[in-house]
Amino acid sequence: MYINLTLELLPMVDLVAMGAELIKSYGLIGYFLVVLFGSTVPIIPVEVVLLLALAIGFDPFIVWLLTTVGSTLGAFVIFYVSCGLSAAVVKKKGKTFKQAEALVNKYGSIAVFIGAFTPLPFDPIVVVAGALRMSRLMFLFATVLGRGLRFALLVWFGQAVMKLLVF
């Protein structure tokens, strides 16, 4: 079990290491690009990259702002591409997408906000919102609000933990 889990995580570790190199080489621009890529192709956990940026010593407000903007732009790319999908295609994707469809149909942009703010899988909600042709403005508003609050809490938490770790 341990060996299989480790082997499955190796590609993610490599991507995080590549992201760290990009951040070291290009600073905040590299950080923004890693967040944007990690939000468009959900392989690199943006939360890990955010904590890395705080540990490096980047300004917490700038980290929050770039993470919110990059994550929102990444989600909007997925949303926009998903506008070309039909609801029938989304239904064939499996249980997670069916649950996301039920949430978006019932709650609309509130489902997007909840997905953006909580640890729920956000990408299926984004795909469904696009396929169901949710208003772009409502999608962006809910995403910015949810992601902004989520990352503000994470920045606050990250700073608090780092203060505890400094001797």
Alpha helices, H only, 41-135: 46-56, 60-82, 87-91, 95-107, 109-117, 122-131
Q: What is the pLDDT of residues 60-98, one digit of tens each?
A: 999 999 999 999 999 999 999 998 876 666 666 778 888
* 105-159 tens-digit pLDDT: 999 999 999 999 998 889 899 999 999 999 999 999 999 999 999 999 999 999 9
> What is the model's pLDDT at position 87?
64
* Total of domains in the chain: 1
- Residue range 9-33: average pLDDT? 77
Euclidean distance between CA atoms 128 and 27, whole angstroms: 34
Model-level pTM? 0.84
What is the domain extent for residue 46? 2-165
